[in-house]
Amino acid sequence: MNRYYIVLPVVLMAIFIYFERGAAKDTELIEKQKVEAKVQAEAKKEAEKKALEEKARLDSDKRNAQRISEEKAKEEKRKADYEAKIQKMRDDVKKYTDDVELNNKLVAVLEKDLAAKRDQRERENRSVFELAKKVEISKKLRRDAELEVQRFTEMLSRRATDSVLTKMPVVATAANAEK
């Protein structure tokens, strides 16, 4: 039996080592496969990550380009609006300047006409005054002439009444005699 104590454990140990080495090879093979799968999974994740980063970078570049183009469009629109407003102001200034010049010319013409009308009115006032003066002088001369005629007529009538030729001859009558 002594022999079995040594041989059996050695045989079992040899079987154990045989199976253990086979299992170790399988385990090592499984570990290699796991490592390879992990490496492939990491490579795949890395590739996906790079693809996502590339896609994100492309999207970001696209959005940046779109944003820049929108900003340029806004800036160009703002500049165009600004230039349009400036041009409108220039046109308005030119229009109003032309209007002012035209109105100044019109004012000059109207002032000249007004001065001419004032001179004409002054001349007409003078002529009206001269005519009124002549009328008053003629009225005065007429009154003086009428007064002279009245005075002359009265003088003639007094002379005629005082004259012997205009008196009635005295006839002797009884009535007169009594007086």
Q: pLDDT by residue (tens digit) across 25-57?
A: 888 889 899 999 999 999 999 999 999 999 999
Per this entry, what is the length of the chain? 179
Q: Tell me if 172 sits within 8 A of 166, measured CB to CB.
A: no
Average pLDDT for 68-77 = 95
Summarised one tens digit per residue, pLDDT across range 89-146 is 999 999 999 999 999 999 999 999 999 999 999 999 999 999 999 999 999 999 999 9
pLDDT at 155 > cutoff 80: yes
DSSP3 helix / strand / coil % (the chain, rounded to 5): 95, 0, 5
What pLDDT score was predicted for residue 154? 92
pLDDT for 170 beyond 70:
no
Q: Predicted confidence band at 4 (pLDDT cuts at 50, 70, 90)?
A: confident
**What Å distances lie between residue 107 and 98, 103, 110, 116, CA to CA?**
14, 6, 5, 14
Per-residue model confidence (pLDDT) at position 166 = 67
Structure tokens at 158: 């007094």
